[in-house]
Structure 1
C-alpha cells in the first residue's frame, strides 16, 4: 500500500484529521500572506505570530469546527434550500459570533495580553469583523451546505477560510484605541 493510500485510509478512519491538516496549513499560511501583503520581507516576518496562528488553527479551531459540522449535520440532515437557509441562519447567529470572539480573545491570550487585553481586543474588533463576515460567510456556507459532502466540509471551509484568515490577521494587527482602565 502506497503512502497516499495510507493517508486516505487514515483520514477515513479518523475524519477529524482532515480538518486538523487543513487548518494546520491554512492558519499559518494566511498569517504569512497577510504579513507579506503588509510589506514584510523574509527577514522581518513575525514567526512568533505565525506559530500562534498555527497553534490556534490546529488545536482549537480544527476540533471545534469538526464538532460543529457534525452537530449541524445531525440537526439539519437534508441538503435542500430550506435546510441550507436554516443552517446559514444558525451559523451566523451562533457559530460566527462565538468563533470571531474566540479568535480575538484566544490570540490575545497567546500574545500574552492577559484577560483584560483579550476583552479589549474583542470589544474593539468583534463588530467590524462580524459585519464583514456577514457579507462573506453566507455565500461560502450556501455552497458548503448545498454542494459539499459532510466528509469534505471542514477541509472546504478551511480552504475558503484562507482568504478570511488573511482578513482576520489584518484585523488582529490593527492598533487598538487606547482605553482608560480605572
Structure 2
C-alpha cells in the first residue's frame, strides 16, 4: 500500500510542477533525451560500455537542456500565440512556418554549438554547418513537418514540448550519427597523410654521391 500511495503522490506533485513550470519540464526532459540519444547512437555503432565517449554524452545533455529546451519553448509559445487554434489545418500551417524558420535555426545551432563545445573553434563550427546542414535539411523536410502537424494539431499546448522531446529521441540519434560521420570522414582523410609522414620520417637519408654509384654497380652486375 505504501508504494502505490507514494507513486500517486509523486505523480500528482509532478503534474502540479509541470503545469506551473512548463519550461522547467522541457529542460528536464531534454536533459534526459539528448544524452540518451547520444548513448543510443554510440550503442548502434557497436561500442562496449568501456568504450563510450561519456564527455560527448555530457555535451549532448548540456546542449539539450540548457539551449534547445529554452529556444524550443520560446518558439512553441510564439506559434501558439500567433495561431491559438488546435486543429490539423492550423497544425499543418504551423509546421510549414516552422520548417521555414525554426528548423533551419535549430539544425544550424546544433552543428555550430556542438562543435564549439568540443573546443574546435568558430572556423571549424562554420565548416561543420556548411558541410552537414544541407544534408540534414533535405531529410528533415520529409519528417519534421509531419510530426509537428500532429503536435500542433492534436496535442494540447502544455504537453507539446514533451511530445517533441519524445520524437526528438530518434531525430537527435540521427543528428548524432551525422555529426560522428563527419568526424570519421576527417579521420580517414588525414590518416594516410599521417602514415606517409611517419613512413618518410623513418626512411634513411640517402646522398646522391654514394647512392648513384651503387645503383650503377648493381646494373653492371
Q: 1:162 maps to which residue?
A: 169
- The residue matched to 2:132 in structure 1 has which SS? helix
2:107 is the counterpart of 1:100: yes
**Displacement of 1:174 after TM fit?**
1.4
Distance 1:21 1:50 in 2: 15
Distance 1:168 1:19 in 2: 19
- The residue matched to 2:182 in structure 1 has which SS? coil
| Aligned equivalent of 1:143, options 128, 142, 150 | 150
Q: Within 5 Å, give how 1:1-182 maps onto structure 2.
A: 2-175=9-182
Distance 1:163 1:83 in 2: 25
Distance 1:99 1:34 in 2: 20
Distance 2:74 2:65 in 1: 14
What are the superposed Cα offsets for residues 13-57 of structure 1, whole Å, 9 maximum, x if unpaired? 111122111101110000000000011110000000000000000
- The residue matched to 1:174 in structure 2 has which SS? helix
Q: Do 2:92 and 2:148's aligned partners in 1 also have CA atoms closer than 8 Å?
A: no
What are the superposed Cα offsets for residues 111-164 of structure 1, whole Å, 9 maximum, x if unpaired? 001100100000000000111111110110111011100000001001001110
**Displacement of 1:99 after TM fit?**
0.3
Distance 1:157 1:3 in 2: 23
> Where has structure 1 moved over 3 Å in runs of 4 or more?
none
Where structure 1 has 5 or more consecutive residues not aligned to the other structure, the ranges are: none
Q: Do 2:35 and 2:57's aligned partners in 1 also have CA atoms closer than 8 Å?
A: yes
Larger radius of gyration: 2
**Structure showing the higher helix proportion among its residues:** 2
> In the comparison of the two structures, how many residue pairs are matched?
179
Q: Do 2:88 and 2:154's aligned partners in 1 also have CA atoms closer than 8 Å?
A: no
Between the two structures, name the one with larger relative contact order (CA 8 Å, sep ≥ 6).
1
Distance 2:47 2:106 in 1: 28
Q: 1:138 to 1:173 in 2, by over 3 A?
A: same
